[in-house]
Amino acid sequence: MVHKMRAIERNFDFVSDPAHGWVKVPVSLLRELGIAGKITSYSYRKGKNAYLEEDVDATLFVNAFKKRFGVNPKFNERVVDRTPIRSYPSYS
């Protein structure tokens, strides 16, 4: 499957609480980038989306995205007091 990047597709939600942050990325894009099997258990998954922890996994994603598409992804940042992300199943 070839991912055709539209302007909206290079914008990703970044949600952070007082302790940590995560980037929401479709699992299909992680597969296309060849990194789906490299995501750690510190990230989470719900439905068709992965929530990549900001340190290792989000960095892996940004580097793979830039290599594949030639541009850095953009982030829509949102800071919240609490997020349900930690209650999602661990990425595996």
Domains identified in the chain, total number: 1
- Which residues span the domain enclosing 59? 7-85
pLDDT above 70 covers what percent of the chain? 90
Task: In whole angstroms, give the CA distance from residue 16 to residue 20.
Answer: 6
What does pLDDT average to over the chain? 91
Residue 29 lies in a domain: yes
Residue 90 lies in a domain: no
Residue 2 lies in a domain: no
Residue 1 lies in a domain: no
Indicate the pTM of the whole model: 0.88
Helix, strand, coil % over all residues of the chain, rounded to 5: 35, 30, 40
Tell me the pLDDT band of 7, cut-offs 50, 70 and 90: very low
